Amino acid sequence: MLLFRWAITLLLLMAAVSFLFYVGTGQVRYRRFGLVIVKWTVIAALFFFAVLFIQRIL
């Protein structure tokens, strides 16, 4: 569980840095990269909560 928490935290930090680079440089590739990171962060969070839900059932 700790691994998932760290992964989600690091992904959100990377997305924030990417969006800051986009604001600073105006290059669209940083925004796209940030959006991809946010998408995978949401997927990782859903997986984390699915594991918690399955553990609660079992």
**pLDDT score at 2:** 84
Domain with 42 in it: 2-57
Query: How many domains are there within the chain?
Result: 1
pLDDT at 1 over 80: no
Strand runs (DSSP E) across the chain, as ranges? Answer: none
Burial of 8 (0-12, 13-18, 19+ CB in 10 A): middle
> pLDDT (tens digit, 9 = 90+) per residue, 3-41?
878 988 999 999 999 999 999 999 999 999 999 999 999
**pLDDT score at 35:** 96
